[in-house]
Amino acid sequence: MDLDPGTHVDRVELCRVLRAASIAGRHVRIAGGGSGGHRGRRSHGHADIVSTLGLDRTISHEPADLVATVEAGVPVARLQDELAAHGQTWIHAPSIPGSTVGGLLSRAASGHRRLRYGALRDSVLQIVVVTGDGRLVSAGGKTVKGVAGYDIPRLVVGSNGALGVIVEVTLKLWPMPRTSAWFTARGGTAELADLGEAVRRSIHQPASILLGPDRLDVELIGPDADLLAPAGMTPDQAPPVFGAAGLLEIGVPAAALPDLAVRLARREYAFQAQLGVGTCLAAIDDRSQRDEIRAMAITAGGHAVVVDGPDDLRDDPWGPPPAGMEIMCRLKAAFDPAGILNRGQFIGDPVGTR
């Protein structure tokens, strides 16, 4: 089963390809828009590359119900343009050039407005997935989320294609915000963290509170009359998108994030923390920095995962195995019995195998 690099497939062909690959024991790497950076361990040996970009239909959009059903290869920018024509948006999604719907969901790339609107997976009502052995599985409901057995949408979103290939999804939409505004403050990290926490407690549902080493940025959404500068802050433009050649994503209890941010600043790391959420991106240059920040995160009751970087940073992308590792391996075996999908993207994959 030799495939040309980047072969585009529809869902029927995808089932056939994965079924044959599973029987033959051939590894398959699923490719979308290519905007996801470098994640997981470096893969070894040959893998057939299958593209989801041919799955690019908007199947339905029901504006009155704030629901849209699309295939996984639909570019996010195109979807947002289609929704905007009806005054609606997929508000959970970040704006990442070149990204596809399936790609964002595969890596659970929640946008900066998670504080107000929740995680990206919260927008998924129904999902259709092709498993590693070629089964077409549908879960959820197009109007009300329902769970019987596995909560497949929550398992698949964020699995980096290690459990199955997303081919279709029904999304919960939001009215497009009429007005929004950003406000900023500059100063020391500890003082800015206190200010950010004060804003979070005093303002009803801020969209985003982003803390860096020397700046705090707050986004408010609502009527013009509500878009007033919080005390100690001034109007500003949206902050620049945070990125780096080596990028570590930290997750800790929300209450522990301000103290962690102060520790990162003392060590002169560049970072962007989402106050009230508990997530933080930090720029790293080498494994010693990765390990130092990971130790901080574990001490704070969390974890730190490499979400972009060269091979040497990804020799240990996840750190210590989490609680429930045995259950994770059983789920992997249930969805991808032959272990052919996106080798190196699952924490339980053997290290250095082909």
In this structure, the answer to whether residues 21 and 166 fall within a common structural domain is yes
- Taking the mean position of all CA atoms in its chain, how far away is CA 243? 14
In this structure, the answer to whether residues 171 and 185 fall within a common structural domain is no
Q: Distance between CA atoms of 93 and 112, rounded to whole angstroms?
A: 9
In this structure, the answer to whether residues 169 and 184 fall within a common structural domain is no
In this structure, the answer to whether residues 32 and 159 fall within a common structural domain is yes
Looking up tokens 């585009």 gives 8
DSSP secondary structure letter of residue 176: P
Are the C-beta atoms of residues 179 and 222 closer than 8 Å to each other?
yes
Q: Distance between CA atoms of 194 and 258, rounded to whole angstroms?
A: 8
Query: Which contacts of 107-110 are long-range, i.e. CB under 8 A and separated by 24 or more positions?
Result: 107/36, 107/39, 107/158, 107/160, 107/307, 108/157, 108/158, 109/36
User: For residue 83, what pLDDT is reported?
Assistant: 98
Give a yes or no: residue 326 inside a domain: no
User: For residue 5, what pLDDT is reported?
Assistant: 42
Question: Averaged in consecutive runs of 10 residues, what is the pLDDT profile of the chain (354 residues)?
Answer: 53 95 95 84 82 94 97 97 98 94 95 96 96 95 62 92 96 95 98 98 95 98 93 96 94 98 98 98 98 98 96 94 93 96 92 56
User: For residue 145, what pLDDT is reported?
Assistant: 53
Q: Which one, of 212, 218, 219, lies nearest residue 272 by Cα? A: 212
In this structure, the answer to whether residues 157 and 292 fall within a common structural domain is no
Q: Residue 108 maps to which CATH number?
A: 3.30.465.10
Are the C-beta atoms of residues 155 and 137 closer than 8 Å to each other?
no
Q: Distance between CA atoms of 261 and 95, rounded to whole angstroms?
A: 25
User: For residue 143, what pLDDT is reported?
Assistant: 65
| Contact partners, residue 131, CB within 8 Å, separation at least 6 | 18, 137, 163, 164, 335, 336
Give a yes or no: residue 18 inside a domain: yes
Give a yes or no: residue 334 inside a domain: no
Are the C-beta atoms of residues 22 and 48 closer than 8 Å to each other?
no
Range of the domain at 263: 180-314
User: For residue 165, what pLDDT is reported?
Assistant: 96
In this structure, the answer to whether residues 144 and 264 fall within a common structural domain is no
Q: How many structural domains is the chain composed of?
A: 2
User: For residue 44, what pLDDT is reported?
Assistant: 66
In this structure, the answer to whether residues 192 and 207 fall within a common structural domain is yes
In this structure, the answer to whether residues 127 and 68 fall within a common structural domain is yes
Q: Distance between CA atoms of 67 and 88, rounded to whole angstroms?
A: 10
In this structure, the answer to whether residues 202 and 130 fall within a common structural domain is no
In this structure, the answer to whether residues 206 and 161 fall within a common structural domain is no
In this structure, the answer to whether residues 61 and 146 fall within a common structural domain is yes
In this structure, the answer to whether residues 162 and 216 fall within a common structural domain is no
